[in-house]
Amino acid sequence: MAPPEPKFRRVLLKLSGEALMGDLEYGTDAEQVVRIAEQIRATRSRGVEVAVVVGAGNIYRGLQAAAEGMDRATGDYMGMLATVLNALTLQDALEKLGEHTRVQSAIDVKEVAEPYIRRRAMRHLEKGRIVIFAAGTGNPFFTTDTAAALRALEIHADAILMAKNRVEGVYDADPASNPDARFIPEISHREAIEQGLRVMDSTALSLCMDNDLPIYVFNMADERNIDRIVSGERVGTLVSNGPAS
């Protein structure tokens, strides 16, 4: 049986640094990156345009560096540079699978990536290229979650696919520390913000709420999940402004 028509025309996949870490404590698990690249290729091959925002928590976090005494903005710029490393890692894995890709960076690193140019990014996507957005928003004091929300809105993505490591979606408490944490299959942006749930940070979540952008939060460990979401199956947690999205 042929797979169903994809539910989306264009999606933005948010990959945290941790998603690239697999079971490691730090850094990048090469096999995990290949698995992710294969899932992106499969989505692409169904005719869905895919843009990706990568984080850097597997390498560096500005906030942590600031806690250790570094100037926050300096730490954040270092975090943004770390996302460029992850973007190039993912680009390499996708190209080994024969995919056409472009990395666009919010910080100028022109020897290795294009600058972020919105219309050019959209053109790449129309041509079937996978666009990886690096260096977050280009501004300190923000996160790659906010970059994901911002870029998704800019390129008119139909949804954000928010990959999580080792959890199925959103819970009412942290399932890692609280065995009674309850899984939430569906919730509105507003409720998620009010309840302080860890979907993404609050700046990013408000941006999605104000602009009616649905977020599908799912477990990256299950390799069928992206394909299922694209097929319209209910997987993980859907954060949206209502049944219409």
Among 55, 169, 214, 236, binds ligand UDP (CB under 6 A): 55
- How far apart are CB 59 and ligand UDP at their closest, in Å? 8
Contacts of ligand UDP in 181-200 (CB under 6 A): none
Q: Which helix (H) or strand (E) holds 41?
A: helix 30-45
- How far apart are CB 17 and ligand UDP at their closest, in Å? 3
Whole-number Å distance between alpha carbons of 190 and 96:
41
Instruction: Provide the 8-state DSSP code for 170.
Output: E
List the one residue out of 108, 96, 94 whose CA is nearest residue 43: 94
Q: Which CB atom, from 6 or from 81, has the smaller least distance to ligand UDP?
A: 81
CA pseudo-torsion sign 85, 51, 212, 228: negative
Burial 223-241 (b: 16+ CB within 10 A, else e): eebbbebbeeeebbbbbbb
Q: Which CB atom, from 63 or from 67, has the smaller least distance to ligand UDP?
A: 63
List the one residue out of 53, 32, 52, 33 whose CA is nearest residue 44: 52
Question: Could you tell me which stretch among 55-63, 163-171, 182-190, 225-233 binds ligand UDP (CB under 6 A)?
Answer: 55-63
Does position 171 interact with ligand UDP (CB under 6 A)? The reply is no
Contacts of ligand UDP in 13-32 (CB under 6 A): 16-18
- How far apart are CB 72 and ligand UDP at their closest, in Å? 8
Contacts of ligand UDP in 108-127 (CB under 6 A): none
Task: Give the x/- contact pattern for ligand UDP in 127-166, rule: CB under 6 A.
Answer: ---------xx-xx-xxxxxx-------------------
Rg (CA), the chain: 17
Among 32, 37, 57, 192, binds ligand UDP (CB under 6 A): 57
Whole-number Å distance between alpha carbons of 72 and 179:
34
Question: Could you tell me which stretch among 56-64, 165-173, 177-185, 202-210 binds ligand UDP (CB under 6 A)?
Answer: 56-64
What's the start-to-end Cα distance of the chain, in Å? 27
* 144-154 and 202-210 helices, crossing angle to 10°: 20
Task: Give the x/- contact pattern for ligand UDP in 70-99, rule: CB under 6 A.
Answer: -----xx--xx--x----------------
Among 44, 61, 124, 164, binds ligand UDP (CB under 6 A): 61
Joined tokens for residue 1: 């049986």
Whole-number Å distance between alpha carbons of 191 and 137:
26
**Nearest position to ligand UDP, beta carbon:** 55
Where do the H-state alpha helices sit in 97-128? 118-126
- How far apart are CB 27 and ligand UDP at their closest, in Å? 12
Give the number of other CB atoms < 10 A from CB of residue 166.
12
Please give the residue ranges that form the binding site for ligand UDP (CB under 6 A).
16-18, 55-57, 61-63, 75-76, 79-80, 83, 136-137, 139-140, 142-147
